[in-house]
Homo-oligomer: A and B are copies of this chain.
């Protein structure tokens, strides 16, 4: 089957670049503060073929150029180009100020078996995506789906009209006429839409119909009574993961998380939809894990990984953040586990090596990753002693080094130096950051403050670095209310993941209720970037010095999807691409729950239902093993199994 093709990475970088240009706040645009790579301008696609019988092809392109068949030239106008039986060489020479794209169908079809060069002396395999299989659906237009959005309520306020669309939305707003200048303000909250300080607003000059670029809103205030129509703009992702249980509030949390995540899954996995709408590596790493339990969408994951890394030479840490380079490397292992070997990691491997080289070249004499002054040590929005080397950064570096060692083996390369560096770092971490008296890892050794936060300790548990310190860390830090609580859903993700791993599912359910539950009870229709259950919701809309700066729809808030899928439905791949997988359901006090977890990027799922002591499971693919009440059961393809306590 024919598909549109491009130089590997080009389409992803093109759309990422254009998307990153669209952030606007108040009356200015706000471009990212890192380098963004774009598509190549000038490429050649090439395919040699042997036809058993005569046929014809048609060629289409985005850009300027020509198709050469055995040296004879044709335009890209879809005309029928005859091919005799026998051997042919087809080359498409193509140039574009946007992104060069090719579609050939007929006796020879464009797909990722075609070679392509950007005139650097090397040929690589073309990039492709099965979304784009029609010559008239050129991928230079990103294939969002559109549907009308009706307001839940309309009222006259402040001399204008306020529309409430009932829940967080993202889409295109159209003003029917703009006979006079019109001011339009979007709000994720009612307060925001009614404030001069709304982050997303537009002053539309008098003119005809005005169709605005897509943006986030629940509320829209318009200064005049003028026809306003709204269409949602979403990635058309089929719903695959499902969860429901005896706790209706938990069901509501799951749905709100799913809505949040769907809104943020666009050209790439975004951090949030209102404000920056950029791609951030740490946020994206969590999105990959959440995606595994709902859409299992390989394409957005690939686009995100490509967009984050860009091209060599490495211009700096990803998103300028030290930790975010490490997450990017870790994400390759997550991709491999989730998707299996589809050749994608091979293509990115040189970029992984050069990024790790960049990181390794910037360590201090102890092998610690440090801030060189022009980067950003993030970890979390939290009070933390960030003096010199930070423990949490070293944990991430160690984890990334281990990933490089394992990936090296997959690539048939010697990764011993990565493992050696990881082992040496492990010793140094314990020597410099472990506080035997506190029974915890400290943030920083350089300041002498020996401050303890949850973050490094969570990583120690999560990455299996705690060893015999495990119980002490759990009780001294994670289960110790005297250590300041995590305030972001971002790090809640890792904290609850670590607690589940340690068997504290019931505690995790309680914490999900306290944090996400209170947000949803308070009327949130999507999960916030940051949230304190102890403060009134209206009093915590600000962030970054802006009255409405906080994103109220942030992908990292969707972690209950991951937590419930991973630790309650209990599905986890045990070899790449789910060739084998475990199903270890855990009720943790729920009367009943059921759900589906997708297995593999295109099709495949496991359905699990637990009621009391009885568990029913059915997988549509081979390779699963169900664990229930201490026993293991092989899951036959499409055969439901029902096991109880007594079996």
Q: Are A315 and B66 in contact (CB under 8 A)?
A: no
Q: Are A119 and B33 in contact (CB under 8 A)?
A: yes
Given contacts A42-B36, A315-B121, A31 and B93 within 8 Å (CB-CB)? yes
**Chain A positions 50-98 with a Cβ under 8 Å from a chain B Cβ:** 63-67, 73-77, 93-98
Q: Are A38 and B38 in contact (CB under 8 A)?
A: yes
Main secondary structure of the interface of A (DSSP, over half): loop
Q: Which residue of the partner chain, among B22, B38, B95, contacts A41 with CB atoms under 8 Å?
A: B38
Does A27 touch B at the CB level, under 8 Å?
yes
Q: Are A21 and B64 in contact (CB under 8 A)?
A: yes
Given contacts A17-B41, A95-B20, A98-B97, A29 and B120 within 8 Å (CB-CB)? no
Does A350 touch B at the CB level, under 8 Å?
no
Does A642 touch B at the CB level, under 8 Å?
no
Does A438 touch B at the CB level, under 8 Å?
no
Does A647 touch B at the CB level, under 8 Å?
no
Residue in B closest to A98 when the chains form the complex, CB atoms: B97
Q: For A29, what are the chain B residues with a Cβ–Cβ distance below 8 Å?
A: 64-66, 75, 95
Does A602 touch B at the CB level, under 8 Å?
no
Does A576 touch B at the CB level, under 8 Å?
no
Contact with B along A94-138 (1 / 0, CB 8 A): 111110000000000000000000111100000000000000000
Q: Are B121 and A34 in contact (CB under 8 A)?
A: no
Shortest beta-carbon distance, A502 to chain B, in Å?
Answer: 41
Does A644 touch B at the CB level, under 8 Å?
no
Q: Which residue of the partner chain, among B25, B64, B67, B98, contacts A31 with CB atoms under 8 Å?
A: B64
Q: In the complex, which of the residues A18, A98, A119 has the most CB atoms of chain B within 10 Å of its own CB atom?
A: A119
CA distance A41 to B28 in the complex (A): 18
Shortest beta-carbon distance, A450 to chain B, in Å?
Answer: 34
Q: Which residue of the partner chain, among B18, B30, B64, B76, contacts A97 with CB atoms under 8 Å?
A: B18
Q: For A25, what are the chain B residues with a Cβ–Cβ distance below 8 Å?
A: 73
Q: For A27, what are the chain B residues with a Cβ–Cβ distance below 8 Å?
A: 75, 77
Residue in B closest to A374 when the chains form the complex, CB atoms: B121
Residue in B closest to A315 when the chains form the complex, CB atoms: B120
Contact with B along A373-390 (1 / 0, CB 8 A): 010000000000000000
Does A35 touch B at the CB level, under 8 Å?
yes
Does A542 touch B at the CB level, under 8 Å?
no
Protomer copies: 2
Q: Are B121 and A28 in contact (CB under 8 A)?
A: no
Chain A interfacial residues counted at CB < 8 A: 48
Q: Which residue of the partner chain, among B33, B35, B313, contacts A93 with CB atoms under 8 Å?
A: B33
Does A160 touch B at the CB level, under 8 Å?
no
Q: For A30, what are the chain B residues with a Cβ–Cβ distance below 8 Å?
A: 65-66, 73, 93
Does A415 touch B at the CB level, under 8 Å?
no
Contact with B along A42-54 (1 / 0, CB 8 A): 1010000000000
Does A236 touch B at the CB level, under 8 Å?
no
Shortest beta-carbon distance, A121 to chain B, in Å?
Answer: 6
**Chain A positions 139-156 with a Cβ under 8 Å from a chain B Cβ:** none
Does A176 touch B at the CB level, under 8 Å?
no
Q: For A94, what are the chain B residues with a Cβ–Cβ distance below 8 Å?
A: 31
Q: Are A28 and B374 in contact (CB under 8 A)?
A: no
CA distance A521 to B47 in the complex (A): 50
Shortest beta-carbon distance, A354 to chain B, in Å?
Answer: 13
Residue in B closest to A35 when the chains form the complex, CB atoms: B119
Q: In the complex, which of the residues A24, A34, A38 has the most CB atoms of chain B within 10 Å of its own CB atom?
A: A38
CA distance A33 to B94 in the complex (A): 10
Does A522 touch B at the CB level, under 8 Å?
no
Q: Are A97 and B42 in contact (CB under 8 A)?
A: no
Q: For A367, what are the chain B residues with a Cβ–Cβ distance below 8 Å?
A: none
Q: For A374, what are the chain B residues with a Cβ–Cβ distance below 8 Å?
A: 121
Shortest beta-carbon distance, A271 to chain B, in Å?
Answer: 18
Q: For A31, what are the chain B residues with a Cβ–Cβ distance below 8 Å?
A: 42, 64-66, 93-95
Contact with B along A291-333 (1 / 0, CB 8 A): 0000000000000000000000101100000000000000000
Q: Are B316 and A17 in contact (CB under 8 A)?
A: no
Q: Are B315 and A28 in contact (CB under 8 A)?
A: no
Q: Are A17 and B97 in contact (CB under 8 A)?
A: yes
Does A32 touch B at the CB level, under 8 Å?
yes
Residue in B closest to A39 when the chains form the complex, CB atoms: B38
CA distance A18 to B374 in the complex (A): 35
Q: In the complex, which of the residues A21, A31, A120 has the most CB atoms of chain B within 10 Å of its own CB atom?
A: A31
Q: Are B119 and A34 in contact (CB under 8 A)?
A: yes
Sorted nearest first, the 9 A-B pairs with minimum C-beta distance are A31-B95, A28-B66, A29-B64, A35-B119, A28-B75, A27-B75, A120-B315, A36-B42, A21-B64
Can you list 17 A-B pairs, Cβ within 8 angstroms, ordered by A? A21-B64, A21-B95, A21-B97, A25-B73, A26-B73, A27-B75, A28-B66, A28-B75, A31-B64, A31-B65, A35-B40, A35-B41, A36-B95, A38-B41, A120-B313, A121-B316, A121-B374
* Extra A-B contacts (10), CB below 8 Å, given A18-B97, A27-B75: A17-B41, A20-B42, A29-B65, A29-B95, A31-B64, A31-B66, A31-B93, A33-B119, A35-B119, A120-B313
